Structure 1
């Protein structure tokens, strides 16, 4: 492997072990990103993949799995002998293994679990027992904890023995003999305190914790809001793990991706886009499209109901795309902003009054501006005064109406326990299309005579 192609993993045939070791060392230096490393290891044939994993030391294999995406890790493990698969998984963090097993096809999950040592399999099974979107499913069970009956000298020895396997040593958690969480202290305070001091005297009992059944996004927001490195996870008061800032970064990224997909009018793919088959794309999109198709059908019903008005003043039809497009765009702008604000905890249901005041005021300014643009457009088309007034009033009314719909729907959906991201751009446009036409033709009835 030359320096020019060191960023690509290619194992030449019949390469000696010493040469392969040098090649891998050069490749590791040239490709620091674990995600890319995993993808390249997965891309080589199984015999070469086995040799590559044999050259990597435990730390390098652990970094490969702990920092790559679960899907890339699944590809690395695919078709490996059970013994080698077990050795590779044995050095990965339990929460990483659990995520790999959870996202693997059902036919492979048993084999992955069976390849684990019994003690590691028990830990992974414990993580898999929690609901998929709960913080218990994403927590790190390796946590530094000490009992409250110890002295600082004894606690130091206990903490040091756990530090090698712990996800973070920023905090040392204190439990009673039954494992119930009692307090917390920093590792620094534990090291610097006099050896004869009791842990009870040093620990801070005013600490935040989260139940394992809590939604992972809510737990992530709690950690971020309180500027913590880690948050203890409990089950009926018993300390069972922690969720760290690294876990939170992954959770927020996943939740943001899901929200973006829902706002686009599609169910979340749950896999990276390039791994999604055409059938999966069809399955994730078709239900939304059929629902929107049915909902959009009432637009035709509205047009049929006002058929007489359209025949009387044909020029009204010229402005239909413009009007419903303006309403949909207005509502989409608001829901996109509001859904994101709700996701980061800036807006809650109790803030609905403030949201309505803010958006309806802004909507009024927008309505006046768009009305001015509409009357100019109507004048350039020479459609007559009555139609111009109708279009102008309708644009203003639709903008206000869209502002109201876009402000209320996300908050109401969250209130009843639904994801506000489902108020997608297509859904808002569909709602506004039919109602906007009703507004248009009702104003036309009042303004246009004869």
Structure 2
């Protein structure tokens, strides 16, 4: 961070906090003046809420608006609560309609009407149009500020239309081409339009359009945009008429938030929706405690299984030594399968109708893994302890790995069929289930082989 007269971000952070505590606001302005936009974003993610509002008020208007747009929706929401109504209104007016909706989704519902009233009639209508779509739909994340061109227009006429609306549009690099009924018939890039013959017809230079409906899941639409490496994707209504554009920056933002949520839930916590250092300790506790309680209740299944087979353990105490190995291996196998399939679902590599194929594939993977681990674990156990104990361990590893991979693979698929986030069936839940069922398999195999 050579542009800041401090060794690193932590030093700048402490310097700003000390100067705010001392009431030396001029020194705060001097300290943050050389910081880049990226550095200011990182700084705001670490400042406490009240100090964040103080620093924000000291920034020039243009710099403050640019910084606000870079912050995560959670941080934006926190910052809004620390500013006065007049400051909030000024920020809200300068945002694009889709960015306003991002912010409104994070704020209490009672605040939204007051903020919308401060907008001009045109801006209020644009924002209300985006707000009218379901919360998780791409219609909620599209921009209604775009430039469209007519299929029958000449290239020169289309370019004049783009120039006339440059200040109104959020993006002009991908231009939707419409027929007389506002139905999307193609798209044309600004580059192709600029190098085309001015007298050519737009239909001669356009290409087929990849569109998404406004009610489609936002994550799916974002993957279409990023997967096909498009700068923007036209968003249409049920009659294929253009209603907005999903830009690449919003698509990336959607995927970042979705993948953060998936990673959190797979780890057994609720997503924070704001950076770690900007999250109060009470919020960290709240994001974890419910899941821990649920998983603790689930873990009683394992205790119940052990109590049922207590007599078996008393007769062959050596079996207890292998309990951590077996349940750990089963849990890890299930987690690997669940993570792989959840990711494949997110990318569109597999779909709910592929449930049977995924089940067969993961069963085969589980058998292969179980065979390898079973031969290794059973062989070592047979040499160290007893051949019969080695047989128990080997067969249990085979059975547990096969079961765990199958369960881990199909649980995310079942979640998708039930219209539940696959990440909700997180790794801790699968581990808890596999622990209990794996112990049942272990003791049943032991009783059969050891005749106890």
Give the TM-score band, short-chain normalised.
0.7 to 0.9
* SS of 2:176 mapped into structure 1: strand
Structure 2 equivalent of residue 36 of structure 1: 42
Q: Displacement, 1:28?
A: 4.3
Structure 1 equivalent of residue 167 of structure 2: 164
Give unpaired runs (5+ residues) of structure 1: none
Structure 1 equivalent of residue 268 of structure 2: 265
Question: 1:81-160 to 2 correspondence within 5 Å?
Answer: 81-160=84-163
Q: Displacement, 1:7?
A: 5.2
- Are residues 1:254 and 2:260 paired? no
What is the distance in 2 between the residues matched to 1:169 and 1:361?
Answer: 50
TM-score, normalization by structure 1: 0.85
Whether the aligned pair in 2 keeps the contact of 1:83 and 1:115 (CA below 8 Å) is: no
Give unpaired runs (5+ residues) of structure 2: none
Q: Displacement, 1:254?
A: 0.8
What is the distance in 2 between the residues matched to 1:177 and 1:20?
Answer: 56
1:157-191 CA-to-partner distances (Å, cap 9, x unmatched) read 21112223322221222224543333322223333
Whether the aligned pair in 2 keeps the contact of 1:34 and 1:68 (CA below 8 Å) is: no
Structure 1 equivalent of residue 402 of structure 2: 400
* SS of 2:230 mapped into structure 1: coil
- Going from structure 1 to structure 2, the CA distance change for 1:345 and 1:278 (only over 3 Å counts) comes to same
Whether the aligned pair in 2 keeps the contact of 1:37 and 1:64 (CA below 8 Å) is: no
1:37-66 CA-to-partner distances (Å, cap 9, x unmatched) read 65569754867643x24x34x3x3442222
Q: Displacement, 1:250?
A: 0.9
* SS of 1:141 mapped into structure 2: coil
- Are residues 1:417 and 2:419 paired? yes
- Going from structure 1 to structure 2, the CA distance change for 1:195 and 1:371 (only over 3 Å counts) comes to closer
- Going from structure 1 to structure 2, the CA distance change for 1:37 and 1:406 (only over 3 Å counts) comes to closer
Q: Displacement, 1:34?
A: 5.0
Structure 2 equivalent of residue 370 of structure 1: 373
What is the distance in 2 between the residues matched to 1:232 and 1:171?
Answer: 9
Q: Displacement, 1:231?
A: 0.3
- Going from structure 1 to structure 2, the CA distance change for 1:234 and 1:444 (only over 3 Å counts) comes to same
Q: Displacement, 1:27?
A: 1.7
- Going from structure 1 to structure 2, the CA distance change for 1:221 and 1:162 (only over 3 Å counts) comes to same
Q: Displacement, 1:258?
A: 0.9
* SS of 2:165 mapped into structure 1: helix
Structure 1 equivalent of residue 435 of structure 2: 433
Q: Which moved more, 1:170-179 or 1:432-441?
A: 170-179
Structure 1 equivalent of residue 325 of structure 2: 322
What is the distance in 1 between the residues matched to 2:23 and 2:291?
Answer: 50
Q: Which moved more, 1:192-201 or 1:180-189?
A: 192-201
- Are residues 1:338 and 2:341 paired? yes
* SS of 1:153 mapped into structure 2: helix
- Going from structure 1 to structure 2, the CA distance change for 1:49 and 1:299 (only over 3 Å counts) comes to closer
1:58-109 CA-to-partner distances (Å, cap 9, x unmatched) read 3x34422222222333344444343333233322222222211221234543
What is the distance in 1 between the residues matched to 2:40 and 2:139?
Answer: 25
- Which of 387, 390, 411 is the aligned partner of 2:389? 387
Q: Displacement, 1:375?
A: 3.2
How many residue pairs match? The answer is 440
What is the distance in 2 between the residues matched to 1:134 and 1:358?
Answer: 32
- Are residues 1:173 and 2:179 paired? no
What is the distance in 1 between the residues matched to 2:243 and 2:116?
Answer: 21
CA RMSD of aligned residues (A): 3.3
Q: Displacement, 1:134?
A: 0.9
Q: Displacement, 1:143?
A: 0.9
